[in-house]
A and B are shown apart, each in its own frame.
Chain A
Amino acid sequence: MKSTPALRFALTLAVALTAAIDPASGQRPPMSRPSAAAAAVGPSAAGDIHIASGRTTSFMWVLTDAFGYRWDISSNGTISDGTSDAYDTGMQLQVDGASYPGYSTGKLSQDGAEAEIGPWNHAELSIYRRVCINAQAGYCRWIDIFENSSSGKDVAVSLKYYFNMGESTQQTYTSSGGAELTDKDWGIVTAGSSRTSSRPAIAHIFGSPGAKFKPAFQFDRSNDNIYYHASIKVPAGKTVAICFFEAQRRPYESAVKFLKDFKPRRELALVPAPLRRILLNMTGASLLLGEIELKRSDKYDLVSLRNGDEIRGQITTAKYALQTGFGPIEIPAGEVIGLVSRSAEKDLVKLVLAGGQVVAGELTNGPLTIRLPGGTELKVPPKGIRQAAYTISEKRPEQVRTTDSLVLLRRGERLAFDDSELRFAFLTSHGPLDLAAGDLSAIEMDTPGGGLHRAVFRNGSLLAGLLGAERIGLKLKLGPSAELPRWQLGRILFAAEELAPAGLSKLTLRNGDVLYGTFSDKKWTIQTKLGEVAVAPADVASGQSSANSLGHVQLVLRTGTKIGGKLAGDYVGFQVTPGPAMKIFVGKISAFVGAEPAKPDTSEEATTTTSAPTGAADGSSERTTLAGKGLPELEKLLRDRTARMAATQQALAAVKAKLAAVMNDAGLRDQLAKQAGSLMAELNNLQATIAQIRQQQAILTQRG
């Protein structure tokens, strides 16, 4: 399977929902003092809380992330140096003043990205450290797990995390945008002097927005020490955990951008759910769907009001009547996960549905009714609500997935639609195309760098163009049909499965577009200095088109022969597979790679065929093309190969004639001799192929 573009991951709509945690710690203490957390919600360690046994790693465990930053993790779970001595040590854990010990080996996750050490039995707790290097996102994540397996005694400990940075902290930028930390902050960037430092700046993430417990971050601009302080209480028989992220970035502004872009809950979606549920400092259950972040609980329905109050109970509203941009709709409450209000003035809401849809409109069926635990029923107008969410349950699960095609509107809606037999007019610089939804993975409506729209095909092809219709008609799964102005669309995602482009040719265009499929021309005629050569696209391993000399190509045949010259004709026929047939102007082509020949068929017929006389070293591509072909196709192939053999013979004769005339020029002679050799090899291959075709014809003729 080919690597999948990130944008297509969005199609799966794997939506993060962090599970509910009781905010039992109450008010967060001032930043200057260690904070205390007594929330303990996890069962004793089990399941995904720990890495499964199997793979192991020794220490130093070193990985480099996709941004080129080094993460060298020591035997006690600390980072040693990082890149360019960013750290002298970092994330060194001390529990009640005692340092976490080193281990010779640790468990390693199946994907090799996360290691776990422990348990360290200390202060009546079993303490484990999980360290995960997310190479693609470019950060390292620590989750320290504290298990209290005693039956009747809560255990309180103070934690200190120590960093000795490569240099003293000179520059800082906090998650709230200032230089100094406030109670609201959950992350900070620290760096040395902007003028002289070659070390990366570091983004430290120690909480999630709104978390009621966060470790206190301590630094001093006069030295290179940094600390986290926290006090936690682990109830008897329970397990809790604390999570931190660190990222190295250079220059300083990149680290600031990382912090600005970082969404803790999005990254926490990558943490196994049982472990996520017991995190103390990344608390607050939430569903993250696009830009909507919906706080949820697994114990009760949760309604957050505009005045800051939070109501826990049961939402008893039976249905939601919504006046939407595409007409009125009614949605049963059972299909709704929650809602966010869009206005304090009007009852404008966005409903989040269990199928991953988000629908915006004005709620027209009155206030939300919420039953409190005591039985009292409250009626709250939607404009008084900031957000409301139903309890996490089987019906309204933690992970939301959709198998439908979705249109993502710029105003934040996500609407499922029926894509069967849907087609789109797509205007391209290669002419207008008629695209079938079934061939597509996505249509992107924004192309940075001054582009228009972009079609992403199931096979990975990317094609720039303009969605032709100014209004897009879609049959929505919610019921009504919608005529959506094109400009409202941010992206269209199609449900069809992606296809690996195996066995397809790849055509790269000068504007960066890439097409996978098959060349639909029967042959290409190349005007070389030595004469005209006919080449079947199937025989071409790769090729390049000159940027400076229109129509000039350099082809490398599967046999190794290289042919350079001007392509006769201005266009190359290409069939995106599956997808539209196109004529591509040769001046727009940058390069191409021929389809990898399929593996030889081991059936009896193929064996018989391959046992036919072959004069060539490599006739595999031809052999595979014969399997399954009927007599008419074989006849065509025979004619084509015979013509090519004639052309090759002609080219060879021309080279030989030139060779005879330049015997005194050693350089040119060698060059021509090489060309002659290649042509000879090509001729041999063609002769072998012709023999194979005739053999196959004979077999089929005998079978009648």
Chain B
Amino acid sequence: MIDPLLLLRTGDRLAFDPELLKCTFKTRHGTVPLDSKQLLEVRLHQGGHGVHRAVFLNGSKLAGLLGPEQIILPLKLGPKLNISRDMVLGIRFAAETKEDPDLACARLSNEDELFGRLSDEAYVVVTDFGTVNVKPKNVAAMSFDEADPTRIAITLWDGSTLRGHIQQEALHFEIEPGPVLDLHVGQIVGLTSPRALPPDDVVKRVEKYVAMLSAASYQDREEAQRLLVEMGGKIVPLLKKYLTDADPEIRQRITVILERIGSEAPGGSAGNPLPAAFGQPGGKVGLLMR
């Protein structure tokens, strides 16, 4: 663990108490609070016509403008620093990132990359065959039409794709840990969620069968295992938490089930692919660029 450091253009590196640093961060998505506990660093020296960029502990990168213009901050050395923001090259809060491969990833039109989760209740998508409510936790990937970003292709937890017009113009995305941002659909190039969950009824069935794995009857336990294997790779995200279950029988059988169905998991360990880009045939596509 290191002390947070203020890196100056003069080459000075000054330790400070992060609790005493009060700043704002104005972004394209509004002004967001910055919590030093959630940050790796804020870079004030950017190439490519950049301004400032916050890097969160989970690896998220968010462009913005750090305020205030004058930084007044007691240093660990004792004196109070009172300098222009221009003198600051960067602020380092932690030594390294703590990335979580299970987080959803939103890639934005300015090449910002956010890790976290969609925090809306549901999305209303008008398709050619009716209106559908989609829960964010069931979404494996989203892509947006460049010409009309409300035209959306959503890949669901089981790999099925839904196309239509999303009724919300902004999606709420929570950087985990970090602030919640309003992302306009036109600012999102693509979104992937490696651990999309099945709908609630599937979750309930999985819970029921997992409970049966520790049933008194051997036949029941075998039957539960068979049923879970039958449900396929889509339930892998639901099973993983049982690898640390207190019951050794459950742990052992879950391990076996995962071995059998793990390779079928949606998107495998690399997460889910984006749905096919608009104007392109279906199938595997790479990262959508805009």
Contacts and interface: CB of A to CB of B under 8 A. Distances in A.
Contacts of A485: 184
Most buried by B among A346, A431, A448, A510: A448
A451 to B, nearest CB: 5
B9 A512 contact: no
B186 interface: yes
A45 to B, nearest CB: 37
A487 B65 contact: no
A370 B8 CA distance: 70
Contact of B61 (A342, A450, A570): A450
Interface in A216-239: none
Contacts of B44: 429
A492 to B, nearest CB: 14
A111 B180 CA distance: 54
Contact of A450 (B50, B149, B184): B50
B146 A488 contact: no
A342 B148 contact: yes
Given A344-B128, A452-B63, A465-B51, 4 more contacts: A410-B185, A451-B110, A462-B49, A512-B48
A451 B187 CA distance: 13
7 contacts: A449-B47, A449-B50, A452-B64, A454-B49, A462-B49, A488-B186, A511-B48
B168 interface: no
Contacts, number: 138
Nearest to B26: A466
B126 A343 contact: yes
B68 to A, nearest CB: 11
Nearest to A413: B148
B148 A446 contact: no
A345 B52 CA distance: 44
A521 interface: no
A412 interface: yes
A453 B50 CA distance: 9
A487 B187 contact: yes
B87 A587 contact: yes
Interface of A: 176-178, 290-292, 342-346, 410-412, 427-429, 431, 445-454, 462, 464-466, 470, 485-488, 490, 510-513, 550, 570, 585, 587-588
B184 A448 contact: no
B223 interface: no
A343 B165 contact: yes
Contacts of B147: 290-292, 412
A177 B283 CA distance: 10
A448 B86 contact: no
A429 B10 contact: no
Nearest to B62: A450
Nearest to A306: B128
Contact of B48 (A292, A411, A448, A550): A448
B69 interface: yes
B219 interface: no
A451 B184 contact: no
A383 to B, nearest CB: 10
Interchain residue pairs A-B with the least CB separation, the first 4: A410-B186, A291-B147, A449-B48, A487-B184
Contact of B46 (A343, A450, A487): A450
A120 B87 CA distance: 72
B244 interface: no
A451 B30 CA distance: 15
Nearest to B88: A587
Given A411-B149, A587-B86, A470 B51 contact: no
Contact of B110 (A344, A449, A588): A449
Contact of B86 (A342, A344, A410, A585): A585
Contacts of A429: 44, 51-52, 65, 85-86
